[in-house]
Amino acid sequence: MKAVVFQGPYDLQVEDVEDPKIEQPTDVVVRITSTCICGSDLHMYEGRTDAEPGIVFGHENQGIVRRSAQASSASRRGTA
C-alpha cells in the first residue's frame, strides 16, 4: 500500500508501507477512496509542531469497509 510519509519539515515521501491488519475486535480495514491533508498536517510539514519521522499524513479519510473483526450492520464489508 502507498502512503505519504513525513521525513522532516518540508520533506515528504510516497512510500510502500505494510498493509493494515485486524488486531482488535473493534478494527476494520478500509479501502480509502479519498483523503486530504488538513491544518494539523500542515503544521507538522512546516515544522511548527513536533512530529517524529515516519508519521503517515492524511488522517481525514473516506472509504469502503473491506474487512471487519466483528460483523455488524455499521461495519460490514462494503459499507461506506
Which pLDDT value is given to residue 44? 92
Which pLDDT value is given to residue 74? 61
Residue from 78, 70, 80 nearest 22 by CA: 70
Q: What is the pLDDT of residues 35-79, one digit of tens each?
A: 888 888 899 999 999 899 999 988 888 999 998 887 555 666 666
CB 44 within 8 A of CB 58: no
Alpha helices in the chain (DSSP H): 39-45
